Amino acid sequence: MSDVPLSAWARAVLAAQLLAVDPVGLGGVHVRSAAGFARDAWIDLLRGLLPAEAPMRRVPLQIADDRLLGGLDLSATLKAGRPVAERGVLAEADGGVVLLAMAERLGADTAARIACVLDQGEVAVARDGVSLASVARVAAIALDEAVEDDEAAPAALRERLAFQIELAGVRRSDIVQAPVDIAAARAALAAVAVGDAAIEAICATALALGIGSARAELMALRAARASAALFGRASVERDDVALAGRLVLAHRATRLPTPDEPESAPAPPPPEQNDETPGESQQLAEDRPLEDAVLDAVAASIPAGLLAQLKVAAALGGRASSAGKSGALQKAGKRGRPAGIFRGQPGARNARLNLVATLRAAAPWQPIRTKARADGPRIRVVSDDFRVTRFKQRRETTTIFAIDASGSAALHRLAETKGAVELLLADCYVRRDRVSVLAFRGAKADIVLPPTRSLVRAKRALAGLPGGGGTPLALGLDAALALAEATRRQGGTPTLVLLTDGRANVTRAGLGGRAQAEADARDAALRIRAAGLRVLLVDTGPRPTPLAKSLGDAMGAVYLALPHANAAALDRLVRASFA
């Protein structure tokens, strides 16, 4: 069994073949790739591996619930004068697959409904006067076109998809496929036997990788059985378990695999090189514990970028990375994304009448209403039938940079801090967020740059920022809180990035005295915590200090100690800290 990682296209081909053998059991594939020839070739490959009668339905991003799950057929209902049910896309795809376009933008509610269908294998609808239950044994292909690492398909959906493939970098010359007999493998799948050793190896590997979901282990077991059926084996062998670990478990790792070594067992003596034969070497490899062999194969397949992300996440207390979309959601009148359809009166709270939903609510009652008044209109709508659409939109985000420009900061880190803030300002400009720069030194705290979207103004203000003097940390925190509250009153979402070494030595009154200055700074930090601000504290001292850490704890902030960081590293970690 080789520990060499599979190429991107080889992984994609194996994922398609195993999915074609057991589509319902494996759930589907998370495809991280922009639209292009590689993704189209993989979809065509999967289409050719599935049975000819298996449907393949494309689900658009903004699909309505009645089209996704099924419900009332409005035109047929109005024509027939009685409720007529209509099957949704998921029920129509029974026995095949659904393609989820732009899965990285899929709403959490839609993802939850699809996940429920993947779990249950059926669609049950009871609304609008109809009750409908349809079999929907489908697999989902989440087409994720995210460019940034912080964007991805919803976690509830990804958890139910056995495989994840990435097709970036695949060339046309890489697209080859060896012929396989999927029909024979599908017929032999039910007879494949699984030993206890294979189950224990999968569970041990998942435990070593820090995978907490039991779904991953079950899907890895199904993938191992599908692999055995695909390669014509009557039972699951170690190569099948290793392949399942590579394709199902590797991308779900949350920590580095560190298999424990037995303490009591003495180390075996090194074999004599002259006496060892190729057969004996192969026998030694086969005598290794199965879980160790599988763990080695999975470790070789863990993406290098994933391990770097795990290290950053560990430094940030397990918070996910996010480079944008940080503004809080708020209810809106007639702008933004639809937030649902509700019963209500048009015009109330600027709600917009949803005509189709209103007619759906009225349709089941038409036989009774028209029978009561035969001389009335053909379609009778009463006030209880009115349905309105409400919307939600994200508030504008304002990132407030509070910079310690005192003598200690200027001596050590002010130049690097300026460089990092310039990179962060450029990132905020790309997201069309507002930024503000506040500096504190001496006996005062000044707003160097009011909230703005102008990158030129921000850089000019930052370049002219002087350094020197005492550290009025409490005054800086008070000024940052006041600016954040003003941003909230204007309907924005404030985010505070505090760059300081935490060595306060100037009180709120502008007087010297380290003890009182530290007490004032802690009081200001508690006020920020009470205000519920999202704060990132970057310790810019030459080495991490307990003062800065305790200040961050008082504020409820994410704390980053960067004693040797340059501007680029500071920018990367600050952007990764916001979730």
Where do the domains of the chain lie?
8-173+180-245, 329-394, 398-577
Residue with the larger pLDDT of the pair 578 and 6? 6
pLDDT digits (tens, 9 = 90+) for 64-121: 888 888 877 777 777 776 777 788 899 999 999 999 988 888 888 889 999 999 999 9
How would residue 189 be classed by pLDDT, with cut points 50, 70 and 90? very high
Residue with the larger pLDDT of the pair 287 and 294? 294
User: CA distances (Å), 42 to each of 99, 167, 247, in order?
Assistant: 12, 9, 16
Q: With 60 as the cut, is the pLDDT of residue 41 above it?
A: yes
Tell me the one-letter amino acid at 542: P
**Cβ neighbours around 571 below 10 Å, total:** 20
* Residue 362 pLDDT: 80
| Number of residues that make up the chain | 579
Q: State which H helix or E strand residue 517 sits in.
A: helix 514-530
Q: Which residues does residue 134 pair with via DSSP β-bridges, in sequence order?
A: 123
* Residue 439 pLDDT: 86
Do the domains 398-577 and 8-173+180-245 match in fold?
Answer: yes
Lowest mean pLDDT among 195-199, 402-406, 525-529: 402-406
Q: How far apart are CA 118 and CA 116, in angstroms?
A: 5
Q: How far apart are CA 524 and CA 288, in angstroms?
A: 60
* Residue 172 pLDDT: 87
Options 3.30.110.30, 3.40.630.10, 3.40.640.10, 3.40.50.410; CATH of 398-577? 3.40.50.410
Q: How far apart are CA 230 and CA 246, in angstroms?
A: 16
Tokens for 563, please give them: 């004693």
* Token pair 């519920």: residue: 532
Q: State which H helix or E strand residue 21 sits in.
A: helix 8-21
Tell me the one-letter amino acid at 142: A
Q: Label residues 502-528 b or e (16+ Cβ within 10 Å = b).
A: bbbbbbbeeeeeeebbbebbbebbebb
pLDDT digits (tens, 9 = 90+) for 513-571: 889 999 999 999 999 999 988 888 888 777 777 888 889 889 988 887 765 555 565 55
Residue 537 near residue 500, CB atoms below 8 Å: yes
pLDDT digits (tens, 9 = 90+) for 437-447: 888 888 888 88
Q: Three-state SS for 100?
A: strand
* Token pair 């097709």: residue: 167
What is 8-173+180-245's CATH topology?
Rossmann fold (3.40.50)
Residue 231 near residue 190, CB atoms below 8 Å: no
Q: Three-state SS for 277?
A: coil
**What DSSP line would sit under 211-275, residue for residue?**
---HHHHHHHHHHHHHHHHHTT-SB--HHHHHHHIIIIIGGG--S---PPPPSSSPPPPPPPTTT
**Measured torsion, CA atoms of residues 274, 277, 282, 284, in degrees rounded to the nearest 10:** -50
Q: With 80 as the cut, is the pLDDT of residue 209 above it?
A: yes
Mean pLDDT across 444-454 = 82
pLDDT digits (tens, 9 = 90+) for 291-333: 666 666 666 666 655 554 554 444 444 444 333 444 454 555 5
Q: Label residues 402-426 b or e (16+ Cβ within 10 Å = b).
A: bbbbbbbbbebbbebbbbbbbbbbe
* Residue 1 pLDDT: 45
Q: Which of 352, 253, 346 is nearest to 300 (CA)?
A: 253
Q: With 50 as the cut, is the pLDDT of residue 193 above it?
A: yes
